[in-house]
Amino acid sequence: MTEEGFSCRIIGISGSLRPHSHTRRAVEAALAGAAAAGAKVEFVDLREFALPFCPGSASALAEYPAVTRLRKIIQTADAVILGSPEYHGSFSGVLKNALDVTELEDWQGKLIALIGISGGSQGPGGALSGLRDVGRGLHAWVLPQQVAIAAAHKAFDAEGQLLDDVRQRLEKLGQQAVEALKHLPPRSR
């Protein structure tokens, strides 16, 4: 509990399926910040979902248990932290497809917080602005604050741990998501 009577559930999804993904670690750090601020948190690993390519029809999607499972998890969350690597100037197709197999109703009134990671020094601006547009398309509230990590390999130490200053930025995003939820109308809480 962050204050009397307030509780929230925040999940994190990474758009990278790569083992030892930087994006996954960044999303987990943001979730840790949210947990420290009182949220119940869960990392949702898309590798554990045998999602089909979006066939473009809800009735076709209803046949896939993985789609139903993912949608239920999203429905139970108050906020979703979406992290994506920069892939050719935008966010990953893995993440777009995962969003495309959900329905608009899953996102109504939900908060989305964004993290972008790029291998290059120019940063993940394409991924972040693309995801911000998609958040609007999903009718979610997209948190103004976001975390952009450029030159991802420099954000980790020799042991593969996030550098302290980067971790703190990510944890702060998780805290900001919890704070923002206190100002949104209760949706499913």
Ligand X SMILES: Cc1cc2nc3c(=O)[nH]c(=O)nc-3n(C[C@H](O)[C@H](O)[C@H](O)COP(=O)(O)O)c2cc1C
Q: Would you tell me which residues interact with ligand X (CB under 6 A)?
A: 16, 18, 21-23, 85-89, 117-120, 152
Residue with smaller CB distance to ligand X, 62 or 151? 151
Tokens encoding 142: 């997209």
CB of 5 to ligand X, least distance (A): 37
β-partners of residue 14 are 83
Residue with smaller CB distance to ligand X, 53 or 59? 53
Measure the CA–CA gap between 110 and 140, rounded to whole angstroms: 5
Give buried/exposed letters for 145-160 (b at 16+ CB in 10 A, else e): ebbbbbebeebbeeee
CB of 165 to ligand X, least distance (A): 18
CB of 141 to ligand X, least distance (A): 25
Measure the CA–CA gap between 116 and 156, rounded to whole angstroms: 15
Contact call for residues 149 and 118 (beta carbons, < 8 A) = yes
CB of 36 to ligand X, least distance (A): 23
Tokens encoding 153: 């390999």
Which value, in Å, is the radius of gyration of the alpha carbons in the chain?
16
> In this chain, which residue has its C-beta nearest to ligand X?
120
Secondary structure letter of residue 105 according to DSSP: G
Residue with smaller CB distance to ligand X, 45 or 63? 45
CB of 125 to ligand X, least distance (A): 10
Measure the CA–CA gap between 150 and 85, rounded to whole angstroms: 10
Contact call for residues 107 and 140 (beta carbons, < 8 A) = yes
Residue with smaller CB distance to ligand X, 64 or 156? 156
Residue with smaller CB distance to ligand X, 88 or 183? 88
Residue with smaller CB distance to ligand X, 124 or 174? 124
CB of 186 to ligand X, least distance (A): 33
Handedness of CA 11, 136, 84, 51 (dihedral sign): positive
